[in-house]
Structure formats: C-alpha cells, structure tokens
C-alpha cells in the first residue's frame, strides 16, 4: 500500500532498511543467543543520524516527529525486534525531556541524544507498581535545594547501557498520583547503581536492568516540568511513544510474514510448494491483511500526533493494542506455516514469536490500553460529543 511518504521519509526508510539488511541481519542470531548489547549497531545508527529523526533541528535533530521515529523502528524490527528496542527505548527516555524539559535541559541533553552519542531510558515500573503505576514507592525527599532518592526501578530497558534516565519518583506520597515527580538522572551519579541484567524470553539483544537508588542526591534543576506532575509526564510520554511500540510490533509481524511467504514457496510437500495449497494461502492472506491494517492505523495515529492534535490517548492506545495483538497472531501463524522447522532455533520465526510477546505487555499491557480506550469513549459520550 502506498502511504505517500515525503521524500525525506522515504530517505529515512531506505537508509534504515539498508543498514538493517546489511549489518543487522548477520548478527541477529548472535545477539539473541548471547544477549550481548548491540553497541556496534547503535554506533552505525548514530552515524547515520537516525537517533535524531524525531528531534527538532534547533537541538541537532532532523526535525521529524513520531512518524519518522515509527518508520525507523518498523524497519529495524523487520530484521530484529530486540535491536530495534534499544533504539526505540532511547526515544522513550528522550520524550519526557522533549515534552517537558526547560530550555536549559533541552540544550544540555537533546543534542547528545539526537547524535546518539548517549542513549536514554525511561524508569517508571517497580516490583510492586506495574499496571498500577500510582503505586510506585521510590521516594524523592526534599532536603534544602536537593532531593534524596531511595528505591528500586525494575525492568528498565537500556538500563545500565543508557547514560540519561528519566525517573519517576514520589515527592509527596500523601498526594497520591499528584505527588509524583520526574527527574533527569545520569549514569555515574553517587547513589545510583544498577541491579542484575534480566534474562528474557525475547528481545534478548536489549538490556533490561534494575535501577537502584540509595540516598542519591539530586539537584532541583533536574526536575522535569515541576514537582507533582510526574504522572502527567509519564502519561504524555506514553501517548507519544506508544506508536513506536506499535511500530516495533508491526515490524516484527512484517518480518514474520516475509519469512512465511518465502518459506512457503520453497517448502515442497505432496510434490508441490506448500504455497500452492489453499490452507497455507489463506493463512498468508490473513497475516498480510492484519499487518497492513496495523500499519494504516499506526501511520494515521503518528501523523495525527505530529500535526499537533492534543487528545491522542485513545488513538495511541489503539495503535499499540492492535499492532501488538497482530504481531502475536502473525508470528504464531508464521511458526505454523514453517511447521516443525518453525519451532527450531535455526529458523527465524520462533524468535519473532518470542519477540512479539513483550509488545502486548510493556508500555502498558493491552488490558490497560483497553481501559484507556474505553475511558475515552465513555468520557466523550458523557460530554455528548
């Protein structure tokens, strides 16, 4: 389908695709097997300016938006969903600065993040606060001009590898959701350590670690926005970043579809390629239709966000929900088309199925996405829209 991308967007897709095919394809299995962080690839993406596609030109980026970010994420994910998320998680850590940073903070961090010389991460989740984000326990206690952070963040993508962290902590527990504040922290600060690296089912090229704060002293100038709006920062960040996760899911699904079509033309059973059997054809047709529908929804949502539409929570949640469910379904079907070979590590599709699962879970489980969508529906109905 032709989405009438601009010349610049086509350029971004073409370059990302070239790098992904030539440089990522040969190392996909290696990173999946070893869980080694793909620094070589991050460096290549940085040199190609891809970390800056969604950052304004005045801060050293290329001046695009969520759409450009999604296009890069999709192309990378077609080859490896794990390597793609190392890239996309930096955007997740950057968006709070982009959306809520003051001029000084933007000038300090955005040019480095646009260049990709430093990676970023976003830290909200805790052992006892996942879907119930308001339950976070990491405390930031005010002492004079400083805040003292104590607590543990869990499952932080790019944790330990990134150097810039947006961390949500409670500054006033009594105020509940209105008592959270977002801080910009940097690797190497006293009292800021990393826990163990998690072993995961999929996206194994990415690093997932705990962030541990022990009397970590943070200047007030590191607050994003102001005290008490930490959850707003998180929610607005997710609104902008969900199409990125959706794009990751889309890329994984598209990659699985391509694998399945190719394999079905090569695999011969009953004296014919299995692509000649209607049973296989119908599976492939459904896979392709779902992938295209996911793409259309993501692109439309990303364009809407980039046009400056304010209320995007519903569409953003829909794109993430739909694309990640599609990814799970399509990768499972791809394994089915491959049959026994699909279940083997030597073939690419079982990894895609493992990679797909997380997209239904992180940045808000799909159940939470449904809550968001339903809440918007009911709100609008109540307003008589």
Partner 1 sequence: MDIIVCIKQVPDTASLHTLKINPKTNTLMRDTAPAIINPFDENAIEEGIRLKEKYAGEVTVLSMGPPQVEKALRDALAMGADNAILLSDRSFAGADTLATSYTLAEAIKKIGKFDLILFGKQAIDGDTAQVGPGVAECLGLPQITYVRKIEIENGKLRAERTLEDSFELVEAELPAVITVTKEINTPRYPSLKGIMKSKKAQITIWSLKEMSIDSDRVGLEGSSTQVIRIFTPEMRSKGEILQGTSEDVVDTLINKLRERKVL
Rounded CA gap, 236 and 229, in Å?
Answer: 11
Taking CB under 8 A as the criterion, the residue among 5, 13, 15, 284 binding partner 1 is 15
Give the binding-site size for partner 1 (rule: CB under 8 A): 15
* Helix 278-306 vs helix 230-266: crossing angle, to nearest 10: 150
Closest contact distance (angstroms) between CB of 311 and partner 1 is 31
Q: Which residue has the tokens 């794990």?
A: 82
Rounded CA gap, 231 and 41, in Å?
Answer: 33
C-alpha torsion 89→95→96→99, nearest 10: -170
Rounded CA gap, 9 and 249, in Å?
Answer: 20
35 is an active site residue: no
Q: Which listed residue (74, 75, 350, 363) is catalytic? A: 363
DSSP 8-state secondary structure symbol assigned to residue 55: S
Taking CB under 8 A as the criterion, the residue among 11, 117, 293, 344 binding partner 1 is 11
Measured from the CB atom, the residue of 49 and 198 that comes closer to partner 1 is 49
Measured from the CB atom, the residue of 10 and 107 that comes closer to partner 1 is 10
Rounded CA gap, 46 and 42, in Å?
Answer: 6
Measured from the CB atom, the residue of 52 and 225 that comes closer to partner 1 is 52
Taking CB under 8 A as the criterion, the residue among 18, 173, 282, 345 binding partner 1 is 18
Closest contact distance (angstroms) between CB of 24 and partner 1 is 12
First to last CA, the chain: 33
* Helix 66-79 vs helix 7-19: crossing angle, to nearest 10: 30
Residue 68: count of CB within 10 angstroms of its CB = 25
Identify the CA nearest to 85 among candidates 23, 164, 31: 31
Which tokens sit at 51?
């970390």
Measured from the CB atom, the residue of 115 and 267 that comes closer to partner 1 is 115
Taking CB under 8 A as the criterion, the residue among 6, 8, 128, 311 binding partner 1 is 8
Rounded CA gap, 280 and 309, in Å?
Answer: 42
Residues comprising the chain, all counted: 385
Q: Are strands 223-224 and 164-170 parallel, antiparallel or unpaired?
A: unpaired
Tell whether residue 24 is a contact of partner 1 (CB under 8 A): no
Closest contact distance (angstroms) between CB of 62 and partner 1 is 6
Measured from the CB atom, the residue of 62 and 328 that comes closer to partner 1 is 62
Stretch that binds partner 1, among 7-15, 153-161, 234-242, 267-275 (CB under 8 A): 7-15
Measured from the CB atom, the residue of 43 and 272 that comes closer to partner 1 is 43
Closest contact distance (angstroms) between CB of 268 and partner 1 is 22
Q: What is the greatest pairwise CA distance in the chain?
A: 79
Stretch that binds partner 1, among 12-20, 33-41, 93-101, 323-331 (CB under 8 A): 12-20
Rounded CA gap, 45 and 42, in Å?
Answer: 5
Residues in 37-66 that interact with partner 1 by CB under 8 A: 44, 47-50, 52-53, 62
Contact footprint for partner 1 (CB under 8 A)? 7-8, 11-12, 15, 18-19, 44, 47-50, 52-53, 62
Catalytic residues: 363
């Amino acid at each position: 389908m032709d989405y009438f991308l601009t010349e610049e967007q086509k350029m971004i897709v073409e370059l990302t695709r070239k790098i992904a095919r030539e440089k990522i394809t040969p190392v996909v299995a290696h990173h999946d097997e070893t869980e080694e962080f793909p620094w070589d690839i991050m460096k290549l993406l940085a040199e190609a300016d891809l970390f800056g596609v969604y950052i304004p030109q005045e801060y050293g980026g290329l001046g695009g938006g969520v759409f450009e970010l999604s296009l890069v994420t999709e192309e990378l994910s077609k080859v490896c969903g794990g390597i793609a998320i190392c890239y996309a998680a930096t955007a997740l850590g950057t968006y709070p600065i982009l959306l809520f940073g003051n001029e000084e903070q933007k000038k300090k961090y955005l040019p480095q993040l646009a260049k990709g010389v430093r990676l970023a991460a976003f830290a909200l989740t805790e052992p006892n606060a996942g879907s119930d984000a308001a339950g976070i326990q990491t405390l930031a206690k005010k002492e004079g001009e400083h805040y003292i952070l104590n607590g543990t963040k869990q499952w932080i993508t790019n944790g330990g590898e990134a150097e810039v962290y947006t961390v949500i902590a409670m500054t006033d527990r009594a105020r509940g959701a209105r008592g959270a504040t977002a801080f910009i922290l940097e690797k190497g600060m006293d009292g800021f350590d990393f826990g163990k690296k998690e072993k995961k089912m999929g996206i194994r090229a990415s690093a997932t670690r705990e962030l541990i704060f022990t009397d970590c002293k943070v200047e007030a100038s590191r607050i994003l926005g102001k005290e008490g709006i930490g959850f707003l920062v998180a929610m607005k960040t997710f609104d902008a970043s969900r199409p990125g996760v959706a794009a990751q899911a889309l890329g994984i699904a598209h990659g699985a579809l391509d694998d399945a079509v190719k394999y079905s033309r090569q695999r011969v059973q009953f004296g014919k390629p299995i692509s000649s059997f209607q049973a296989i054809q119908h599976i492939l047709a459904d896979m392709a239709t779902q992938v295209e529908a996911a793409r259309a929804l993501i692109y439309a949502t990303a364009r809407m966000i980039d046009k400056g539409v304010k209320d995007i929570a519903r569409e953003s949640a829909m794109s993430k929900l739909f694309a990640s469910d599609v990814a799970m379904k399509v990768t499972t079907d791809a394994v089915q088309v491959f049959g026994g070979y699909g279940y083997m590590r030597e073939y690419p599709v079982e990894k895609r199925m493992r990679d797909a699962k997380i997209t239904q879970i992180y940045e808000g489980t799909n159940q939470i996405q449904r809550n968001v969508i339903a809440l918007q529906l009911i709100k609008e109905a109540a307003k008589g829209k």
